[in-house]
A and B are shown apart, each in its own frame.
Chain A
Amino acid sequence: MAGVGEFVEADNAEAIITRIEHKSSKIESLLRQGKHVEALKTALEGSPPNTRDERCKSANWIVVHRALMAIRDLDALFSSLDPEYYDILMKYLYRGLSTGDRPTCDQCLRVHERLTQKAGLGCILRTLTDTVNTV
Chain B
Amino acid sequence: MGEGIYNAALMEHNAHPDYKYEMENPTHTHEGVNPSCGDDIILSLRVVDGIVEEAAFTGSGCAVSQASADIMADLITEEPVEEVKRLCELFLAMIRGEACEEELEDLGEAAELKSIALMPARVKCAELGWRTALTIIEEEL
Verify that A and B bind, or say they do not: no
A-side residues, CB < 8 A to B, are none
